[in-house]
Amino acid sequence: MPKRNRLFVPKLSMKQTLQTNKPFIMAMLLVFGLALASRTIYVHQLTDSPLLIVHMGDAKVFDEWAQEIAGGDWLGSETFYQAPLYPYFLATCFTVFGYDYDMVRIVQIIIGSLSCALLVMIGRQFASLRVGVIAGMILALYPTAIFFDALVQKSVLSMFLMCVYLACMGYNLHRLRPRILILAGGALGLACLTRENLLVVLVITIVWLCIYFRPQAWRRRMLASLSFVLGMVIVLAPVGVRNWYVGSSILLTTSNVGPNFYIGNGDGATGMYRALRPYRGDAEYERLDAREIAEDQTGKSLTDTEVNRYWLSRTWQDIASSPSRWAGLLVRKWRMFWSPTEIADTESLEAYADASGLLHALHTAFRFDVLLFFAAAGVWASRRDWRRHALLYGNVLAIAVSITLFFVFSRFRHPSLPIVAIFSAVGIANLVDCAVSRKFVSFLIAISIGLGTFFVARIGVVPESYVPAAYTFANVGETLTKAGRLDEALVYHQKALALSPNLTQANFGMAVIEGQRGQYAVAAEILKNVVRSNPGHVDAHYLLGLASVKTGDMTLALEEYQAAVRLKPDHANAQNNLATVLLHFDQTEDAIEHLRQAVDLQPDDVRARFNLGILYYRQGKMGLALEQIEQVLALSPDDSGARQLYEDILAAKNHE
């Protein structure tokens, strides 16, 4: 029986494979080089700026966390409150290179440049090589991407992992490949450990796999879906087990969903970030404040899961009490997501552009609304390929919805940028083709759709009073003040006030600097204005009390310390200082009461115990006086004043 003819497919050598894909490889290398160059120039321009060395907000938390991990505490002792992948990335860099942020930034700009190169691949998969090259160049020169890639922030990883996910999914456009889907799921799982809201991409992907490949057998589609989920489980299951082990809470990512949901939707929400407690917006307070408020309201100690549940319940109560408010808020946040304003967290692009000519030039000409102009034109031009692009549509809309349900930051929408860049590239390519082939009607329709999107995106939803650079300058000034670099701190607070004269944080920072310089009268005048416009600012009342004592205005000092204690009864220093001022007005009993509260709040406060001991001694209450001074000597054995008072008390007791 003759052998059946078989189709012979020659196996290509490595050299032949490279030659076949040479244009594609060259395009990726070109885009990678462009991205690397732009990011290197940007970092070089920041060399002499404090912006490159200060750690603020999340960056400060990540730095401290990474140092603990690199020091050997790889497991930790609490459930993750913030997404953990970036601190572990930092810790790995510290372990390999030492504590060197220059090396961290080199690694980050390489990763960011790889994201741009991957976008060439993604563009080719979903459209064409030309689209991929244009999309990669967009990302290589997009100012927000350059900014985030060099920042001590997790956005560089979320962007890269999203590009890996999209590239893997692109390989499944024509044929399901379970192994590649496992890799895609793993990439998305890691991305969820940088941005928890990316879990919504799981749902979109499963739906897309089931619908896009509907002609194929359901078993094959089920295998594909399970392969993708398996990839995510491989990454997220160890995190869930770890959270259960250290905190008895099964959480696949973090425990901050409830507080973040309240921040974005509770009574008084604006769509942007707001601190759970006024004037405590620093990342280091978030977890503590969320727990303390929840426990104060419930009157019992809570686990992380219970704290999370408290904030979710409280938010839903606020929503139920005013559903119309919430509906309007959701619309506002949806519009804010598409706004050209880069809503900043702690660090704003505009502030960094002030120190980098390259970033300033790119940001002036190339903002998100410009990207949306071309993206809208691209969506229209590729409308016949909607099935191929359904995964991209679904993911960008799902990310937008997931952010709308919480609150809006520029870095939150960053993982959607590769998809927007692809459609922008499609739009640019189509407009060029229409112009060259003189298809003026198609050209005008695409331009009209782009302009409509451009102007709708620019309709103001962010308050005019919001000046992101001012907040960043004030944050830098505050950080430099804590480091004792007062002259530099003053410059940054002045920059902040030049942009936003009534910015509370900057005015308060100026007062702190003047106080540390001994200019108490100047500090007091600034603080008077702060408390006048911000009567709930506890620290401003407290510092105004200090400044008033220094200037001899004891009446004002009494008023300000009383205000601080009224607003924050557990402010031990305010309780102690209020007692001192009360003594000036011969209100001894009131002073003793406040000193008792100070001691209860801070049992190791030597100064409060010593003052309380003196007052008891003067009242002839030798037993109570002796008790306090013995505690002082136990805490500070070399305190000569306490030792002398101790001997005086003993002598007085002997004469009783």
User: For residue 80, how many other CB atoms are within 10 A of its CB?
Assistant: 25
Average pLDDT rounded to a whole number, residues 592-608: 91
Let me know: does 545 contact 561? Beta carbons within 8 Å: yes
Instruction: Kindly state the greatest CA–CA separation across the chain.
Output: 127
What six digits make up the tokens of 347? 């660090």
b/e string for 309-340 if b means 16 or more Cβ within 10 A?
ebbeebbeebbeeeeeebeebbebbbbbbbbe
| In-domain check, residue 473 | no
**Cα 351 to Cα 492: distance, rounded to the nearest angstrom:** 10
The answer, yes or no, to whether residue 532 has pLDDT greater than 50, is yes
Provide the residue type at 548 as one letter.
S
- pLDDT score, position 303: 86
The model's pLDDT over 254-299, given as tens digits with 9 standing for 90+, comes to: 778 999 999 999 999 999 999 888 878 777 788 889 999 999 999 9
Question: Is residue 268 situated within a structural domain?
Answer: no
Distance of alpha carbon 341 from alpha carbon 276, whole angstroms: 24
* Residue 101 · residue 387 · CB < 8 Å: no
Helix axis angle for 155-170 and 85-97, nearest 10°, is 110
Q: How confident is the model at residue 495 (pLDDT cuts 50, 70, 90)?
A: very high
Query: Six-digit token pair at 282?
Result: 């620093």
Provide, rounded to the nearest whole percent, the portion of the chain with pLDDT above 90.
77
Query: Among 252, 264, 360, which residue's Cα sits nearest to residue 319?
Result: 264
Neighbouring residues of 343: CB distance < 8 A, sequence distance ≥ 6: 272, 336, 408, 409, 410, 462, 466, 468
Place of tokens 């310390």: 561
Domain span at residue 378? 19-253+340-458
* DSSP-derived secondary structure letter, 303: -
- The C-alpha atoms of residue 122 and residue 116 are separated, in whole angstroms, by 10
Q: Is the pLDDT of residue 1 over 60?
A: no
The predicted structure's pLDDT at residue 3: 46
Tell which wins on pLDDT, 516 or 252. 516
Rounded mean pLDDT, 348-358: 95
Cα-based distances in Å from 77 to 18, 80, 242, 306, 573: 49, 9, 10, 18, 30
Q: What is the pLDDT of residues 377-425, one digit of tens each?
A: 999 999 999 999 999 999 999 999 999 999 999 999 999 999 999 999 9
Residue 562's nearest CA partner among 585, 582, 532, 533 is 582
- Tokens 């896009």, residue located: 212
What was the pLDDT predicted at 15? 53
Please tell me the distance from the alpha carbon of residue 656 to that of residue 653, in angstroms, as a whole number. 5
Mean local confidence (pLDDT), 69-81: 91
Q: Closest Cα partner for 197 from 44, 343, 396?
A: 396
Q: pTM for the complete prediction?
A: 0.90
Whether pLDDT at 16 is above 80: no
Q: Which tokens go with 525? A: 């005048």
Place 179 in a pLDDT band, splitting at 50, 70 and 90: very high
Neighbours of 502 (CB within 10 A): 12
Say if residue 174 is exposed, middle or buried (CB neighbours under 10 Å; 0-12, 13-18, 19+).
Answer: exposed
Mean pLDDT of the chain: 92
Band (pLDDT 50/70/90 cuts) for residue 656 is low
Task: Match 């229409």 to its residue by tokens.
Answer: 434
Domain annotation covers residue 110: yes
Q: Could you tell me the pLDDT band of residue 648, with boundaries at 50, 70 and 90?
A: confident
The candidate with the shortest Cα–Cα distance to 613, out of 603, 598, 627, is 627
Calpha distance 595→615 (Å, rounded): 10
Q: What stretch of H or E contains 364?
A: helix 357-365
Tens-place pLDDT, residues 436-493: 999 999 999 999 999 999 999 988 788 877 899 999 999 999 999 999 999 999 999 9
For residue 267, the model assigns a pLDDT of 94
> CA 492 to CA 62: how far, in whole Å?
23
pLDDT at 19: 57
Count how many domains the chain has: 1
Residue 599 falls within a domain, yes or no? no
Contacts of 300 (CB under 8 A, 6+ apart): none
> What's the alpha-carbon Rg for the chain, to the nearest Å?
30
Cβ-in-10-Å burial (0-12, 13-18, 19+) of 106 comes to middle
Describe the crossing of helices 640-654 and 622-635 by its angle, rounded to 10 degrees: 150
Instruction: Report the sign of the C-alpha dihedral through residues 613, 615, 617, 620, in that order.
Output: negative
- Check if the beta carbon of residue 181 is closer than 8 Å to that of residue 228: yes
For residue 11, what pLDDT is reported?
Answer: 52
Q: Looking at residues 418-436, what average pLDDT do you find?
A: 97
Give Cα separations from 243 to 297, 300, 304, 386, 543 (angstroms): 25, 22, 10, 41, 41
Alpha-carbon distance values, 157 to 86, 463, 497 (Å): 7, 30, 34
Gap between the Cα atoms of 502 and 497, Å rounded:
7
